[in-house]
């Protein structure tokens, strides 16, 4: 396969279709949430769309926490493979085949 060949997600209208498709599926799920009987344990679970909002907030919190944690745990780019430094070799002796 040629690396210069365009893939289907390289086209902006295809990305737009995916975003609209996801939006439509989320809307259908939110509307469906209004039409079934719930048996909540907590009163807040009775709110329409509670699980959608809860899932979004938890996901957003997870991403933002991971970004902050990355600052704490980040290593230098050459942490595992340090840049090569010139090594001082001992002087050669006559007849040494190194």
What was the pLDDT predicted at 75?
A: 82
**CA–CA separation, 20 and 33 (whole Å):** 20
pLDDT(1) > 60: no
What was the pLDDT predicted at 95?
A: 66
The more confident residue out of 91 and 5 is: 5
What was the pLDDT predicted at 60?
A: 96
**Who's near 53: CB < 8 A, 6+ residues apart?**
none
Q: How far is CA 71 from CA 38, 39, 58, 76, in A?
A: 42, 42, 20, 11
């Amino acid at each position: 396969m040629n690396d210069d060949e365009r893939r289907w997600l390289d086209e902006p209208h295809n990305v737009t279709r995916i975003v609209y498709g996801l939006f439509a599926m989320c809307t259908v799920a939110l509307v469906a949430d209004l039409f079934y009987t719930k048996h909540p344990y907590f009163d807040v679970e009775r709110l329409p769309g509670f699980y959608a909002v809860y899932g979004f907030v938890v996901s957003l919190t997870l991403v933002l926490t991971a970004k902050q944690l990355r600052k704490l745990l980040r290593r230098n780019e050459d942490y595992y493979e340090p840049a090569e430094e010139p090594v001082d070799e001992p002087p050669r002796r006559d007849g040494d085949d190194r």
